[in-house]
Amino acid sequence: MVHTAATDSHLLKKDHLKGFLRKLAKEYRLVAPVRNRHGDVLFTVIDDLDAAEIELSEPPQNSLKQFFLPQQEQLSTYTVTPEGYDFHPVQATIPPTIYFGVHPCDLSAVLYMDVVFSRRQRDPFYLRRRHGSVLIGVNCNSPSPNCFCNATGSGPFLEMGSDLQLTDLGDRFLVETGRAPGQALIERWQGFFSPSADKDRAAHYQAFLEARGRFSRQVHVEQAIRQLEADTVEEKIWQELSLRCQDCGGCAYLCPTCTCFTISDQRLDAASGRRLRSWDACTFAGFTAMAGDHNPVQAKTAAIRQRFTHKLRDDVRLNGRPSCVGCGRCVSICFGGTDIVRFVERVCQGSL
């Protein structure tokens, strides 16, 4: 599929990358994976392009989720009057932002969030951050040990969804144009780009084939989805996994497609307060608690079942594909071993 890409493609010499980004940073807020002083690679807002060490070969530890759906966000403030509550919406201006160096898994995750936050109800808080954002993706030449995006159909190479899509070809990037804002960037700064030749497109296809062969694990997500659909996952697998879960929520926090949130009111004093939206996780004991303390989901097994069934079965039914994008972040954060790869592997073992 990749080699038949009919999209417009260009070349960007690696030497010209900094210059191109410098131009972009003048007009946009720039977010890219940056290696910090501890050696961790994180998507960071870049203030000083010369001081930032942009790292494209290693997947960032965080995803783009926090930029579109912050961990905690103030929705409104309120004052308490003798008649009741007066709400005052918070006005925020989100600067137009370029997200550079987005790996295919994270790109797929943003596309999934777009669906979630505009399907039934358009979420103004998400969309005001998403509007005016430009995504510049970079294909994965060498997947990391925990990666399995090949099994979820979200990598290692993508050819749609981004505004510009880069592929590392050694001394140069092949740049494919996607959505219109990407095309506009190329036209605006055409001095940085040169036309691509057939040999570049051949190198791109070669890189794709090599990347596909570099996955260190084969995770049979398809098989797990089939079993969930047929309802043949054994009860003992749910029990085994839920026993190991410590309710830390790490998987949901790091997951680029976990979008559950809770809304709470925080009093500032007796007469005023603020309404906050914070990340939540379906594995938390209080997640399904209702007014009056009734909780329809009591057993921990039900919470774990909810998590994996939603990711793998329900989203396939709704959107035609799982909402797990195979980034492997939950695999590295879960010290108890209750991650999605462990689940898929246990399900497959059960059917052997």
**Is residue 333 involved in binding other proteins (CB under 8 A)?**
yes
- By CB under 8 A, tell whether 83 contacts other proteins: yes
Quick one: which segment of 25-33, 44-52, 155-163, 246-254 binds other proteins (CB under 8 A)?
246-254
Structure tokens at 218: 């084969």
Q: Whose Cβ is closer to other proteins: residue 310's or residue 329's? A: 329
Q: Which of 25, 43, 170, 36 is nearest to 101 (CA)?
A: 43
Binding pattern to other proteins, positions 313-332, x when CB under 8 A? Answer: --------------------
Residues 5-29 as b or e (16 or more Cβ within 10 Å = b): beeebbbbeeebbeebbeebbeebb
Cβ proximity to other proteins, 7 vs 246, nearer residue: 246
- Provide the residue type at 227 as one letter: Q
Instruction: Report the nearest approach of other proteins to the CB of residue 38 (Å).
Output: 8
Out of 27, 118, 267, 318, name the contact with other proteins by CB under 8 A.
267
Determine which residue in the list 64, 110, 245, 327 makes contact with other proteins, applying CB under 8 A. Answer: 245
Nearer to other proteins, 136 or 254 (CB): 254
- N-term to C-term CA, the chain: 32
Of 180 and 290, which CB lies nearer to other proteins in the complex structure? 290
The DSSP letter of residue 191 is G
- Taking the least distance from each CB to other proteins, the nearer of 50 and 269 is 269
CA-to-CA distance for 124 and 73, rounded, in angstroms? Answer: 13
CA distance 46 to 8: 29
Q: In the bound complex, what is the minimum distance in angstroms from residue 130's beta carbon to other proteins?
A: 22
Which C-beta is closer to other proteins: that of 18 or that of 267? 267
Establish if 253 lies at the interface with other proteins (CB under 8 A).
yes
User: How many whole angstroms separate alpha carbon 314 and alpha carbon 184?
Assistant: 37
User: What number of chain residues touch other proteins (CB under 8 A)?
Assistant: 30
Bond from prior residue into 156 cis (ω within 30 degrees of 0): yes
**Any contact of residue 246 with other proteins (CB under 8 A)?**
yes
The DSSP 8-state label assigned to residue 21 in this structure reads H
Are the CB atoms for 226 and 309 separated by under 8 Å?
A: no
Q: Which of 4, 82, 294, 320 is in the footprint of other proteins by CB under 8 A?
A: 82
The one-character DSSP state at 293 is: G
80 near other proteins, rule: CB under 8 A: yes
Q: Rule CB under 8 A: say whether 292 interacts with other proteins.
A: no
240 near other proteins, judged by CB under 8 A:
no
CA distances from 286 to 112, 168, 169, 209 (A): 26, 45, 49, 46
| Angle at alpha carbon of residue 182, lines to 177 and 186, rounded to 5° | 85
Span interacting with other proteins, options 120-128, 151-159, 201-209, 333-341, rule CB under 8 A: 333-341
Are 207 and 141 contacting, i.e. CB atoms less than 8 angstroms apart? yes
> Rule CB under 8 A: is residue 269 a binding residue for other proteins?
yes
Closer to other proteins by Cβ: residue 164 or 281: 281
The residue within the footprint of other proteins, chosen from 300, 302, 306, 309 (CB under 8 A), is 300
CB neighbour class for 281 (10 Å; exposed up to 12, middle 13-18, buried from 19): buried
Rule CB under 8 A: which residues touch other proteins? 40, 62, 71, 80-84, 243-250, 253-254, 267, 269-270, 279, 281, 284-286, 300, 333, 335-336
